[in-house]
Amino acid sequence: MSEHRTTAVDEVVQIEHFTMAFDRHTVIGDLSFSIGRGETFGFLGSNGSGKTTTIRALLGIYRATSGTLLINGRPFAPGNGTQLGYLPEERGLYKKESVIDVMTYFGRLKGMAHDQARRWSMDYLERVDLAEHSSARLDRLSSGQQQKVQLGVTIMNRPDLLILDEPTKGFDPVNRRLLFELLDEQKRQGTTVMLVTHQMDEVERLCDRIVLLKNGRAEAYGTVTDVQDRYGGLTIRLRATGPIPVSPQYTEMRRDGDDVELAVADGADPAAILRHLVESGVSVSQFTTGRRSLDEIFLEVYGVDRGEPTR
C-alpha cells in the first residue's frame, strides 16, 4: 500500500492507530492516514465502512477507543483556533426561517458581525443564483437550492479545514460544476478539503490523494494514480467486432456489445496488443489507452454488482 505521508508540520489532519468499538463490536480497526495542508483528500468507502464514525471521532463527537486524532497538531475542540467548516450528510438548517436570516444567524455563530454576515450571504446568494430567494423560507426551496444554502453556511468563515460529506447530493450537472468552482476557489485560498463522496468522477476531478476504507480499515491509500496502478494499472478501451483472443498481454475485464475493456499486463506494449488483435481477425474501430477508472475499482473493492447503482 502506498502512503506518501507528508511531514508532521504540513499535516492538518493526523489519524494514527485509530480504533473505535461499540459494545465490543469494532467499527474502526487500527486506521492511520494524514491530510496535508492545502490538499483535497478523498475519504471513500461503501455505506457502513466507518467514514462517519471517523469524522465524528476526529471532531470530538465520539471518544476513540484508542489511537490519536488531531487537527493542526491537537485534538479538536470548538474555540481552539481552527476555523472548521463541516457539511454533514444529514443537513441541519432552520427550514421555517428565511434564507438570509438563517445564513446571517450562522455567520454570527462563526464570529462575524451582523452586517458582515448579511453582506457575505447576499454576495454568495447572488453568486449561486439564489438572490431572488433571499427572503423565502428555506422549506419553500428545492433540495438542490437548500443544499447551496447549506454549502454557503459551511464555507462562509473561510475555514482552514473543510469537511464535506456528499456535497453534491441533490445537485444537477450545472450546480455540480458550480460546486467544483467554489472548491477550486477554496483550495487557491489554502483551505484543506476532506471530501466524502460516492461519485468517483468527482474524486478523479478534485482529489490529490485518497483513502479507501473497507470494514473500518484502509484498503488503499495514496494518490489517485497510485490506487489506479494498484488495481490494474493501464487499461485499453476498444470497439471491436468478433471474439477477443486469449493472450498473456492482457485480460478481458468487461464487454458490453462491441465495447471492450482490457487490463494490460505489466510490461506489455499497447501497440503490440493492437497488432495482435488485428492479426487475429478482430475488427477494431476505436482503441484508447488509460488507467482503470476509480468507479470500476470502487465496485471491485466493495463487491458491488456492476448491474446495481452504487449507494
pLDDT tens for the chain, 311 residues long, are 444 444 444 899 999 999 999 988 999 999 999 999 999 999 999 888 999 999 999 999 999 999 999 999 999 987 776 789 999 877 677 888 999 999 999 999 888 999 999 999 999 999 999 999 999 999 999 988 999 999 999 999 889 999 999 888 878 888 889 988 998 999 998 999 999 988 888 899 899 999 999 989 999 999 998 998 888 778 899 999 989 999 999 989 888 899 998 988 888 999 999 999 999 999 999 999 988 888 888 888 887 543 333 33
Interval 79-100: pLDDT, tens: 776 789 999 877 677 888 999 9
The total domain count for the chain is 1
Judge whether 251 lies within some domain: yes
pTM > 0.85: yes or no:
no
Is residue 240 a part of any domain in this protein? yes
Q: Is residue 261 part of a domain?
A: yes
| Residue 7 in grid coordinates | 511531514
Whether residue 273 lies inside any domain: the answer is yes
Burial 31-62 (b: 16+ CB within 10 A, else e): bbbbbbbbbbbbbbbbeebbbbbbbebbbeeb
Residue 247 lies in a domain: yes
In a domain, 49, yes or no: no
Domain that holds residue 278: 232-291
Q: Residue 255 falls within a domain, yes or no?
A: yes
Instruction: Examine residue 103 and state whether it is found in any structural domain, yes or no.
Output: no
